[in-house]
Amino acid sequence: MEDRGRLSIIAEIIRDHISLDGLDQFQSQTGVEKDDFSVVKPSDFSGEIFAIDGSNATLFSYFAANVNLIRAGYAVYRKREWQRTVVTFSDLFLADPKLSRTNFDPYLKNFFGLDGIDLKESDLDRLSSYYREMQEYVAINDALGESQPGDIILYDGSFEVFEPLRDVLAIIFSRASEKGVAILAVAKSSSLSWGEEVTLPFVQHTSMAGSRLLPGDAWYLSLKDKQIDAGQGKWDGQTYIVRFCGESEHAFRVDVPAYVGDEMGLILGKLTGHSCSAECPGYPHALFRAHRDIRITEEEGAAERERLIAQLLELGMSHQEIRMIIQDYHDILEMRTRF
């Protein structure tokens, strides 16, 4: 029988804490005040916006290793007009801890001058995430090569990354600073939190607070000296909450390298007119286009998986061998067919 008592308790916690009835508790516990919200003043921008994104789909798993289809690239806009989409990587990746140096080191050396990274303790899912992130950083590096001083690069994600790839980010920031190109990381989801009794969503509540305090305005809020759980904080930059469009209900976590800090308001002013489209209100349209152009669809992943299986059969493996290697016993218990 369903435990209605536990259901009621959870529902009451959500109602009493997640619902933001007033701002007093939010402001007193986080240190966020009305004056901390900076209004964004729209400005004209004639340069280019490069939006970086990546995608990862697991095609084939034999539990000791995974085969993934990984893609990375960027979409380019001038003002509100799409110019082109560039795919910098689209290929299979074998996530095997013993092949980490073979997979990672050539990119790290050729693109960033690094000797390599230690990934021996990483699990298979994290290996795939690292590889996709590395390919996204290669895409950023490529976009930097195509950019001009004053252009803007938007990255889908956060710069709050685990240690192995921080050196790559440091090199990217240095190159971007030298060229005079701003880089902003825009996260569609965030684990930033606040609260004493329960864990509360900081980005969503800040968005609600900003909507009440500055209705109809685009704004940004620095997290410096705020009382929140802001993650590791071991990268050279600052995190903001940004509402790109005053007509939108949505705000986003935005990570910015230290060299960009003083120009934050000016850069966001250039992005406001680019972030109010009907397709994705409140979100930079270049990132919307990059996501749509670069994502790996379910159908595409399934087709690539079938091509891999066909290649294995052509190389002499039998259907039974392949089934035994990739069969998850949970599928047998649930009477599901994967192959």
Q: In the structure encoding, which two tokens stand for residue 72, read together? A: 């990375």
Phi, psi for residue 235 in degrees, rounded to 5: -125, 160
Q: Which of helix, strand or coil describes residue 188? A: coil
Q: Which residue type, as a one-letter code, is found at position 316?
A: G
The pLDDT, as a whole number, for residue 2 is: 54
Instruction: Identify whether the C-beta of residue 262 lies closer than 8 Å to the C-beta of residue 274.
Output: no
Strand order in the sheet with 37-39: 37-39, 219-222, 237-243, 252-257, 182-187, 152-156, 48-61, 66-78, 81-95
Q: Distance between CA 50 and CA 64 in Å, rounded? A: 37
Say which residue the tokens 């939190």 belong to: 193
Q: Is 79 exposed, middle or buried (0-12, 13-18, 19+ CB in 10 A)?
A: middle
Going residue by residue through the chain, which has 339 residues, state the pLDDT in tens, using 9 for 90 and above. Answer: 455 688 888 888 888 777 777 899 999 999 999 999 999 999 999 999 999 999 999 988 887 888 999 999 999 999 889 999 999 999 999 999 888 889 999 999 999 999 887 776 667 778 899 999 999 999 999 999 999 999 999 999 999 887 778 899 999 999 999 999 999 999 998 889 998 888 889 999 999 999 999 999 999 999 988 888 766 567 889 999 999 999 998 999 999 999 998 899 999 999 998 999 888 999 999 999 999 999 999 999 999 999 999 999 999 989 888 888 876 655 655 666 655
Q: How many residues does the chain have?
A: 339
Quickly count: other Cβ atoms within 10 Å of residue 335's Cβ: 6
Instruction: Identify whether the C-beta of residue 234 lies closer than 8 Å to the C-beta of residue 225.
Output: no
Phi, psi for residue 239 in degrees, rounded to 5: -110, 140
Domains parsed from the chain with CATH numbers: 38-294 (3.30.420), 298-333 (no CATH)
CA-based nearest residue to 255, from 188, 307, 317: 188
pTM of the model: 0.92
